[in-house]
Amino acid sequence: MGSFLSRSVLARVVPFVLFMVMLALRGQVPADGSWGIDPRWVYGLCVLVVSGSLLFFWRDYQELARGTLPRAKELVLAVIVGVVVFLLWINLAQPWMMLGEATASFRPVDSEGRIEWGLVAVRWIGAALMVPVMEELFWRSYLMRWVDNPDFEKVDPRTVTLKAVALSTVVFMLAHTQWLAAILAGLAYAWLYKRTGSLWAPIVAHAVTNGVLGVWVVLYGNWQFW
């Protein structure tokens, strides 16, 4: 059942809430190291905690069961969508396309400008592997279907209404600084889920977007996108 605080709801909400809370706590750690902690490594702790919560609830994710894997054509489509969203994300970053001020970027470099590869690996693993699963379970599997029916597990993603797609995408946008890019990304991932009926499709697309973005950021030093 999808009633408030049921296990099926908690399984999709708890990892997302943990992620948001830990990101907020990271912002409270002094950047000067006066607490004896490098705030950049808090992201690594965040990855461990959120990944642990996903593993704890893994049996509750029926939409990720083996039989739900998309077909080859759908995987190819997901990869294409992921690349397109990446291109949109790095090009739709003009001041008027931003919702408020940009948040502090994640800079995995030392005082002499040398890349700290441990930090890069932690950030990339989190963004490309953990975040897509955690976010798609919350935004698409739960919230989008919940708009149509609080007992969201009964909703076939291929039948979700435009209202559900629109409302979940607007909320998704509000959680990101680049509002225009976020709207287009949210619509693209929702379209994939609706078209294929498999949550793996938007997860793959999301992973491709974040994975390629991470490589591009490191190659060109555009840390503001991290």
Q: Kindly state the percentage of the chain with pLDDT values over 70.
A: 96
Q: What's the rounded Cα separation, in Å, for the pair 31 and 61?
A: 37
Whether the pLDDT of residue 117 is over 70: the answer is: yes
65 has a pLDDT exceeding 70: yes
**Confidence label for 26 from pLDDT (cuts 50, 70 and 90):** confident
pLDDT value of position 9: 96
Q: Would you say the C-alpha torsion 9, 15, 20, 21 has a positive or negative sign?
A: positive
- Whether residue 31 has pLDDT greater than 80: no
pLDDT of residue 102: 64
pLDDT band of residue 39 (cuts 50, 70, 90) is confident
Question: Tens of pLDDT along 122-141?
Answer: 999 999 999 999 999 999 99
Judged against a pLDDT cut of 70, whether residue 103 lies above it is answered with no
- Per the structure block, which two tokens stand in for 12? 């999709």
CB 93 within 8 A of CB 223: no
pLDDT at 154 over 80: yes
Euclidean distance between CA atoms 186 and 206, whole angstroms: 10
What is the mean pLDDT of the segment spanning 138-164? 97
Q: Which of 103, 134, 114, 106 is nearest to 41 (CA)?
A: 106
Residue 111: its pLDDT value, please? Answer: 86
pLDDT higher at 38 or 199? 199
CA gap 9, 57 in Å, rounded: 11
* Banded pLDDT at 36 (limits 50, 70, 90): confident
